[in-house]
Amino acid sequence: MPNAATPSPEALEPVTPGVPPTPRAAKDVFGEHVTLAERYVALLGDTGIAHGLIGPREAPRLWDRHVLNCAVVAPYFSDNSTVIDIGSGAGLPGLVFAIARPDLTLHLVEPLARRCRWLEAAVAELGLTNVVIHNARAEGVVGVCRAPYVTARAVARIDALARWSFPLLEANGRLVALKGQSAQQELAQEEASLKRLGAVETGVTTFGAGVLDPPTQVMIIRVGTQPQPGKPSASARGRRQGKGRKRRQPSE
């Protein structure tokens, strides 16, 4: 889960009571789409919290910690491409990408029906026409959708994400996993397991330096022409047997 971000010192007027003011950085990041982004933040702060998709303590940091944390990654994707976002929750990062990049097609994959209903309402309310919602687990959409990019944020460790996402990727596709500040450490622990699963290139890239504090750490894992199903890593087996560190519960 991303670390708490320092609130932006420069802020515009609030758009909706109870919703944090729009930071000046939002204009730079969203450009002409900032008004739509403001409406999304207003929805998150209203029904998103009321329906339990976002924790009430997140309200003051909806922009920096959540929406901008995702939006700074939006320029990464090729023009007019398709992106599958697994475990979208309240649309982070999938809906943020759909707002910032209307040229993209976003497939949001979310197993909880209650969350899907909220996402459907948000898509209708925002008038987005580039979003498809799948009420399913990532494992359930193999053969249903395929794309050059799969994204995820605060869903699982990278080895589990790789197992779920590699079958959804086209040849030479990329898993783009938004991570917290320990991304480099997690990657080092799972590198061998990722290679066994079919990764041919792995790395951590920083997005949003100078806009967000802290900036967003993104693990980018490229697959080859045909990812191979692999065994769970030793650390994953240990966790399943109750060994090792307790998995951090990402806040929503």
Ligand X SMILES: C[S@@+](CC[C@H](N)C(=O)[O-])C[C@H]1O[C@@H](n2cnc3c(N)ncnc32)[C@H](O)[C@@H]1O
Q: Closest by alpha carbon to 189, among 239, 120, 250?
A: 239
Within a 13 Å sphere around the CA of 233, how many CA atoms are in the beta-carbon half?
Answer: 22
Which positions ≥6 away from 179 have C-beta within 8 Å?
2, 158, 186, 204, 217, 218, 219
Per CB under 6 A, does 120 bind ligand X? Answer: no
Binding to ligand X in span 200-239, by CB under 6 A:
none
Q: How far is the CB of 44 from ligand X (least distance, A)?
A: 10
Are 4 and 61 spatial neighbours (Cβ–Cβ below 8 Å)? yes
Q: How far is the CB of 161 from ligand X (least distance, A)?
A: 9
- Which residue, 224 or 250, is less far from ligand X as judged by CB? 250
Among the residue ranges 99-107, 108-116, 186-194, 233-241, the one whose residues contact ligand X (CB under 6 A): 108-116
Per CB under 6 A, does 5 bind ligand X? Answer: no
CB-CB neighbours of 57 under 10 Å: 9
Per CB under 6 A, does 89 bind ligand X? Answer: yes
Peptide bond into 214 cis (omega under 30): yes
Among the residue ranges 5-13, 22-30, 84-92, 221-229, the one whose residues contact ligand X (CB under 6 A): 84-92
- Which residue, 38 or 85, is less far from ligand X as judged by CB? 85
Give the torsion sign (CA, 116, 43, 145, 176): negative
Per CB under 6 A, does 110 bind ligand X? Answer: yes
Within a 13 Å sphere around the CA of 146, how many CA atoms are in the beta-carbon half?
Answer: 7
Element (H, E) at 174: strand 169-179
Q: Which residue in the set 41, 71, 96, 109 belongs to the binding site for ligand X (CB under 6 A)?
A: 109
Q: Which residue in the set 24, 39, 51, 137 belongs to the binding site for ligand X (CB under 6 A)?
A: 137
Give the 3-state secondary structure of residue 202: strand
Q: Which residue in the set 60, 102, 224, 250 belongs to the binding site for ligand X (CB under 6 A)?
A: 250
- What angle separates helix 158-165 from helix 183-197, to the nearest 10 degrees? 40
Binding-site string for ligand X from residue 140 to residue 179, where x marks contact by CB under 6 A and - marks none = -------------xxx--------x---------------
- Which residue, 34 or 90, is less far from ligand X as judged by CB? 90
Per CB under 6 A, does 252 bind ligand X? Answer: yes
The residue written with tokens 């359930």 in the block is: 140
For binding to ligand X (CB under 6 A), which residues are involved?
86-90, 92, 109-112, 115, 137-139, 153-155, 164, 250, 252
